[in-house]
Amino acid sequence: MDRVRCDVAVCQLIAFADTAERVLLDIIPLEALDIDGNSVPRGLPLCMSFVPSDDPDEHREMVSLFDRWADHNGVLDLDVAVAHEVGGFRYVFTRDDEQLVLDVRS
């Protein structure tokens, strides 16, 4: 799997929910997290919500990663960047040798 190299912040996934309408992540940055030129201070809780993938296999893989990461202390690296090509943001979650890249339209 190719890894995307980014400026990242260490974060902790503290809660994860998967419903038919959305995927919800509660994350606490353990260091400042830059999002589109704005800095989220460490310790400020963030709630991220995504529409589930139309591809059931991709969705199951994503849910499996978040479940596993949450079960193992939830500490991961996160980068959030503007993704002009999708009209939204690119979220890059990395833990050890696993990486999940989500392109999310605004």
pLDDT, tens digit, for every residue of 74-87?
999 999 999 999 89
The three-class DSSP label of residue 21 is coil
Please tell me the predicted confidence (pLDDT) of residue 52.
Answer: 85
Q: pTM for this structure?
A: 0.87
Using CA atoms of 13, 18, 23, 24 in order, give the dihedral in degrees to the nearest 10. -40
Per-residue pLDDT at 3 exceeds 80: no
Please tell me the predicted confidence (pLDDT) of residue 66.
Answer: 94
Tell which residue, 86, 84, 66, 88, has the closest CA to residue 76.
66
